[in-house]
Amino acid sequence: MFALSYTIPINPAGAQPVLTRDQVWRGLEMKATDAKPFVKGMTQCDVLERKDNTLLREITFAGDTFREFITFHAPVQVHFTRVDSKGASEGFIENTISESEAGLMLTFTFALTFPGTKPGSEEERAKGEGMRGAYVGAVAATLNRVRELVQDGTIV
């Protein structure tokens, strides 16, 4: 299983509007329900079941279709576990809001397997590193989308 975490400040110098924890949390909830406006390359995102602090969705991303079981740990973390991956990579993804001496931070972590590769192999590492750019870009893209939603009044 290949794992990667990437953290960025939620409100870097000059970012407008300045986002609150609640606004970022609301954006993460919206992203879990319909990730298409947040994630480049996602063509399907259908909620199949919702109850309490969880939901089950089916997504198509980069041509692979799979299901994710999502658990909301409000107002800190959204945890995605891939289930019924239909041959796509399995594992988990986490979006976590935290605070540090630098202010609010957003961390994306993913830990995924790659079908047909040996765990811990150079091939697995290469495939994981090949995804790095997309996942690093997803952190900034998520915050940019939340800012747009705050600016247009969708998130208050």
What pLDDT is attached to residue 40? 82
**Chain position carrying tokens 């900034």:** 140
- Number of independent structural domains in the chain: 1
Domain that includes residue 8, residue range: 2-151
In-domain check, residue 41? yes
For the chain, helix (H) and strand (E) counts, in that order, are: 2, 7
Q: pLDDT truncated to tens, each residue of the chain (156 aa)?
A: 889 899 999 999 999 999 999 999 999 999 999 999 998 888 999 999 999 999 999 999 878 888 999 999 999 999 999 987 666 678 899 999 999 999 999 999 989 888 888 988 999 888 888 878 777 788 888 999 999 999 999 999
In-domain check, residue 94? yes
Task: Say which CATH number the domain at 81 has.
Answer: 3.30.530.20
In-domain check, residue 102? yes
CB 27 within 8 A of CB 36: no
In-domain check, residue 73? yes
CB 143 within 8 A of CB 155: no
In-domain check, residue 24? yes
In-domain check, residue 156? no
pTM of the model: 0.90
In-domain check, residue 71? yes
What pLDDT is attached to residue 44? 95
Residue 126 tokens, joined: 């290469």
Q: What angle do CA 2, 5, 7 make, to 5 degrees?
A: 165
In-domain check, residue 75? yes
CB 142 within 8 A of CB 42: no
